[in-house]
Amino acid sequence: MMMAGGSSWDDYKGPARLIIVVAVLLICCCGGALTAVGVPLGEMMSFGKKHYNYQCDIALGPEPGASTSATATPTTASVPESAARQQRPETNPYAELYFDPADPNVTDRDLACASAMKTAPIQDEPWQEINTGPAVSCADDLALRYPEVAGTATMADYARDVIYSASIAGSTGQCTPTRAPTATVVENCGDPTATVASVILPATVGDQGYCGQVVDPKAASPGDLVFWEYIDRRATRVGVALGPGEVVTVDSGKFVRLEIPRDAEVQIKRVLGDAG
C-alpha cells in the first residue's frame, strides 16, 4: 500500500501507523464530519492521537504520574458537544484495533487498550447531566437496601446485582434485589445510550471498569459506578454512587458507605440509561 509522497505503509511504524489508523477510524465513525468542516490532515491526525489516548485513559485509568485526561478531552471548536453526541457510533470503532505483540514499537499500554476496546463503548466528553428515571430511583433504593436482604457479596457481585435489578425495574414494575445472570455479550457493555432489556456487567471489577460512559464528578447520580485504585491498568475497587458525594461498596466482606474518593484516578461511569 502506498501513502502520500510515495511512502509505503510498511514505512510507518508504531505510533505513526497508529495515528494514521486512528485518523481513518475517526473519518469512518464520524461520517466524514472532520473533513466536511475542512480540518487539515495534520490537525485531524493530532486530534486522532488525542482521541485514542482519551479512550484508553478512560478504560484503563491514566498512566501513573500523568495528569488525568478525563478533564482534558480532545475537543475542537468545529465539533460541538451536541454534534459529537449525535455522531456517536453504535459500536466502538477501536474494537477492531490489533497490535502485533512482537512489534518493538507497540507498548504494553497499547496492547491493554486494544483488549479493553473490545468491551468498552466509545466515550464522549464527561457527561454533565444528572441522571433520572425509574432505573436511577431503583438503584438509589437498592444501593442501601441490598446489604439488608442479600447478605455478604463481593464488590463485583454487588455492582452487578444492583445495576441489573435497577435496569429491569421499569419493565417489571418492581424494584427488588435480583441476582444478575452471567454476562454473555460484553461488547459496548453498560452503554447508557443503547436501548437494552437489561444491563449485565462482567464478573470482575477490572472488566467492569471498561463499561459505561464517563461522568463529571459533579453529575454523579444514583446508580453510577465509581471505580478507583487502578493497578496494572485495571480498576480494583468499585461501588455504586448515591449521588455526587457518596458511594456504597464492599470492604473485607462488609458493606460500607463512604465519600467518593477525590483522587485523579477515580472514574465515575454511567451504565444506566435515563428516563428517555
Q: Which pLDDT tens digit goes with each residue over 128-138?
A: 999 999 999 99
Judged by phi (left if over 0) then psi (alpha if -120 to 50, else beta), residue 68 lies in beta
pLDDT given at position 5:
45
DSSP string, 43-99: HHHHHHHHHHHHHHHHHH-PPTTSPPGGGS---BTTB-HHHHHHT--SS-GGGG---
What band does 85 get if pLDDT is binned at 50, 70 and 90?
low
pLDDT over 60 at 12, yes or no: no
Q: 268 in helix, strand or coil?
A: strand
Measured at the CA of 249, the angle between CA 165 and CA 237, to 5 degrees, comes to: 105
Distance CA 26, CA 200 (A): 29
User: How distant is the alpha carbon of residue 90 from its chain centre?
Assistant: 14
For the entire predicted model, the pTM comes to 0.81
Quick one: pLDDT band at residue 150, thresholds 50, 70, 90? low
**Nearest 5°: CA angle at 90, between 86 and 95?**
125
Structural domains for the chain: 4-116 (no CATH), 134-270 (3.90.1720)
